[in-house]
Every structure is written in structure tokens, then in C-alpha cells.
Structure 1
Amino acid sequence: MIRYNLTCDQGHAFDSWFASAAAYDRLAAAGHVACPECGSSKVAKALMAPSVVARPDRSLTAPRDPREAALAELRARIEAESDYVGLSFAAEARAMHEGRAPERAIHGEAKLEDARRLIEDGVPVAPLPFLPARKAN
């Protein structure tokens, strides 16, 4: 994950998280990155300094602050208590909502437009604050 400080053409400053620099570039080029204040999709990365903290007393894999620990705990709980359905998330969520599939806790991935349609149709979904670990067999 990468966080960028952004500004819109109206001068509003905000920040947002992206899966990668390439993900930001794709989303911005498609007009999917918008200012939360005015809705403008004419957005550019602002100048920013990296936030690097050297802590020899901590492992690189250990959470560095309480928020990271809470996020790691949330991820573990979601992965333990729900089924990963991968890219079938939108279809599975809709099938459960319409009674065509048994209800259960699921997590997975959906295209932005598919997620919008689910929300517009009243299907209860929420974005996760992390990318799911892809499972392969």
C-alpha cells in the first residue's frame, strides 16, 4: 500500500491510499481518483516527504503502532471467520442477497463499478482497509 498527498485543480488538498504506484496511475488516468470536497477528477500528486522511522528495537514484520496492530487483528479475524471468494465477490454477494445462495460471511475482490451496483441495489457490502491475500491451489 502507498499513501499519496493529492491536490485537485480547485486547490483542495487530501490524501488517499492505493495498492501501488501503478494502481494510482491507472485509476487517475481513468478519472477514478476524485477530490472528496468538490468531486473534481483533475487530481495530481502533491510534494511529499517519505515517512521512514528507523527502530532497531522492532522487527520489520511486527506492527509499529496500535493502528497497525488493530489492522492486523482485523485482517486475521476476517480471514478466519469468512470465506474468501476472490473475484466472484460481487456475484456471491448478490446471490446471497437475492436468496439464491445461503448467507455466510464472505470477503473478496470486486471492480469499482460492480461494488457501486451492489450498494445501489441495497446489498450490504463494505470495503476492507487492506487487500485480501489471494489464495491459490
Structure 2
Amino acid sequence: MIVFDLCCQSADHRFEAWFRSSADFERQKRDGLLMCPQCGSADVEKAVMAPAVGRKGNRDSGAPSVHTPQGEGAAPVPSTASAAGAERGAAAGLPEAVKTALVQLADLQKRVIEKSRWVGRSFAEEARAIHYGEKDAEPIYGEASPEESRALADEGVEVAPLLFPVAPPDKLN
């Protein structure tokens, strides 16, 4: 996973988001899946980022000073304004209530995903089968193109986008 500082070009809002790779960022941008969490604008670009360089005093640990999410069950579900980002000051422009709400939303999404089945690119097909009673109802999550999502909505299939990008289970570290 890689974290990028992003900037809303419409209103100069700054936030961070986690991606599987640079290519994943580019794909999500191309597919219109990136939005500013403050104003909803899809005009989002990578912001200039400073490298994470540890202080000279960190040499004895033998490890670079790079922040990664910690704790039991550390979420593979990225947050656009995680506590880690707040610690580094990446989300310094956001009010505390917004930061807290985003962290809580990311945690909620993580818990929902833990109780759901990953169906990958067959999400639209699986959602239709459940909607039309061809398969037993169960919580699922996966990938769908914007066109597939619109088609599901037009058919009355109840789906909701995940608020934060998710790496497929087979791609997690």
C-alpha cells in the first residue's frame, strides 16, 4: 500500500488516501472514483509530497522511520484522513470533528467488509443474482465499473459504493 497526499483542484482542499500502487491511483482517477471528502469534487490530483526521512537519532533501531498503521486488526481498508495522517499533519487543514468522523467511517467500513464476501469483478453479476432471488442474500463487496453501477441502480438493485479504496484480499500484504 502507498499513501498519497491529494489536492482538490476546485477548492485547494488537501487530504490523503491509500492505494495499492501508483497505477491503482491512476486507474481510480481515470474511472472517476476519486472525490474530495470536503466538497465532493472529482477534480483531484496528487499533491507535492515530502519524503518520510527519519531523524539521525533513529539509526540505532535499524529501521527507517516510516509510519504504518498499527494495532491488532490494522485495517487493510484505507482512510482518507486516518489517525496516521493526522499525526503526520497531512490532514492538518481538516477540523477535528471531520478527522474523527472519517476515521469512524473507515472503521465502520472495515467491520462491514469483515462480515462480507469478496466477489471481485463479478460484483454486478452477484448483486443481480441476489436481487432477483437466484442466490441467497448475503453481504458482498467487489469491483464494478461506473457503467455497471449505473445499470444496477437503474434495475433497482440496492448497492452502495465503499467510501474508501479497498485492496482485494489476495493483494494484501
Please, what TM-score do these two structures have when normalized by structure 1? 0.61
Identity %: 39
Alignment RMSD, CA only?
Answer: 3.9
In structure 1, the partner of 2:94 is: none
In structure 2, the partner of 1:110 is: 144
Structure 2 letter corresponding to 1:36: P
Residues 64, 36 of structure 1: alpha-carbon distance in 2 compared, 3 angstrom cutoff: closer
After superposition, the C-alpha distances for 1:102-122 in whole angstroms (9 at most, x for unaligned) are: 223434332244345546735
After superposition, the C-alpha distances for 1:28-80 in whole angstroms (9 at most, x for unaligned) are: 3454433233333332211223447779599xxxx8612x62426x69x83xx
In structure 2, the partner of 1:132 is: 168
- Whole-Å Cα distance in 2 between the matches of residues 43 and 124 of structure 1? 25
Contact 1:86–1:134 (Cα < 8 Å) also in 2 = no
The reply on whether 1:2 has 2:2 as its aligned counterpart is: yes
Question: Which of the residues 57, 71, 84 maps onto 2:75?
Answer: 71
In structure 2, the partner of 1:12 is: 13
The reply on whether 1:47 has 2:48 as its aligned counterpart is: yes
- Whole-Å Cα distance in 1 between the matches of residues 140 and 31 of structure 2? 29
Structure 1 letter corresponding to 2:39: C
- Whole-Å Cα distance in 1 between the matches of residues 44 and 165 of structure 2? 22
> Alignment partner of 1:40: what SS?
coil
Residues 56, 114 of structure 1: alpha-carbon distance in 2 compared, 3 angstrom cutoff: farther
How far the C-alpha of 1:93 sits from its partner, in A, is 1.5
Mean CA deviation greater in 106-115 or 11-20? 106-115
- Whole-Å Cα distance in 2 between the matches of residues 88 and 123 of structure 1? 16
Structure 2 letter corresponding to 1:111: S
